[in-house]
Amino acid sequence: MQILQPVLNGPIGPGMELAVQTDFIGPIEVGSFWTYEIWTPTSEQRIARGLRYTNISNPSLVIGQVQTGQGQPITLEIPTQLPLTPHGAAARLVVTLSSPLGAVLDTTSMPVTYDAVTGTQFVISQMPTTTVQGGFTASDRSNLDLVLQAVRVVSPPALTGGANIVAQVIDLVRGPPRSFLRRFGSLTLSGRGTFSAQPPGAAHSFGGTWSFITVPAGYGRDDGALVEYHRRMAQFVVVRDESTSDTYLDVLEDSHYEGNFILWQFSNPLQIQYDIAPGVVVLWQWLV
């Protein structure tokens, strides 16, 4: 087999013509095919590959997705997992003629220079194109408005005359900052039980705070800016509904010191469960 174009060490790449001539003696069966491959000089990595079914002994092949003179498509495949081969790199061209069953009838190779530039525009011109329109349209604006409504929840004021609280998607995770909230109402707690997260007289709440009214002797304490106790004085658990009829524990807080607080991720969970140490009395206040 002879490679007529490119010449020895000549440039070859996408969009450039490749001419070969086979010395195979005998008729070429229908369904026989030519393959051409561009490899790195040591044949460790394949840079590109083309395939063409033909019944002509002297085809003029074109690398790229085009129609040849015989109306048959030629495809260049560049392996996507390999790094892009630079323009001007040394390479090796391998051309093979195979039977319909894949038996090699004739093959040859030669050193070439990889041309990644010359024929690229020709390949691009053969690709199918689509018409697109740019710019921000009225339909785009309408879609954004719908999305904004879907990710924003407006809660009414907790108290008459207060401001609305606007919660966006991120607020479902972190809740409002503690500094935005104030104490409201009170409840005296002891023992174990549950109470509503929605305080009487307010539309919603985002948390609660507490202090100890009575602490029996012998619990152990360390004085400081916050008085710390050696035992757990109180435990509060925030309970929520799942999308089904089941419930789950959303937030847990163990209290060992005065002036502690708890926040829940979004207003009005199902209930608050509490467990107060024996003999301890706690004053609870909601945060709204």
Asked, for residue 60, whether it belongs to a domain, the answer is: yes
Considering the domain architecture, whether residues 188 and 273 belong to the same structural domain is answered as yes
Asked, for residue 19, whether it belongs to a domain, the answer is: yes
CATH classification of the domain holding 45: 2.60.40
Return the pLDDT at 61. 42
Cis peptide bond prior to 73, omega within 30° of 0: no
Asked, for residue 210, whether it belongs to a domain, the answer is: yes
**Domain boundary, last residue among 69, 99, 126:** 126
Cα radius of gyration rounded to whole Å, the chain: 39
Asked, for residue 169, whether it belongs to a domain, the answer is: no
Considering the domain architecture, whether residues 101 and 191 belong to the same structural domain is answered as no
- How distant, in Å, are the alpha carbons of 44, 98, 117, 160 from that of 78? 15, 21, 15, 69
The 3-class secondary structure across 149-187, one letter per residue, is HHCEEEECCCCCCCCCEEEECCHHHHCCCHHHCCEEEEE
Residues of the chain with pLDDT > 70, as a percent, come to 67
- Decide: residue 44, CB within 10 A, 0-12 exposed, 13-18 middle, 19+ buried: exposed
Asked, for residue 140, whether it belongs to a domain, the answer is: no
**Number of structural domains found in the chain:** 2
Domain of residue 227 covers 175-287
Considering the domain architecture, whether residues 91 and 194 belong to the same structural domain is answered as no
Asked, for residue 43, whether it belongs to a domain, the answer is: yes
Q: What is the pLDDT of residues 66-100, one digit of tens each?
A: 333 343 444 445 544 445 677 788 888 888 888 88
Considering the domain architecture, whether residues 25 and 121 belong to the same structural domain is answered as yes
Q: Which residues pair with 51 in a beta bridge?
A: 35, 75
Asked, for residue 137, whether it belongs to a domain, the answer is: no
Q: What is the pLDDT of residues 4-61, one digit of tens each?
A: 777 777 788 766 767 777 777 767 777 777 788 888 887 777 777 776 655 444 444 4
Q: What is the pLDDT of residues 155-169, one digit of tens each?
A: 677 677 666 666 665
Q: How far apart are CA 101 and CA 103, in angstroms?
A: 6
CATH classification of the domain holding 190: 2.60.120
Asked, for residue 89, whether it belongs to a domain, the answer is: yes
**Domain boundary, last residue among 63, 94, 126:** 126
Cα-Cα-Cα-Cα torsion 13, 17, 22, 28, nearest 10 degrees, comes to 110
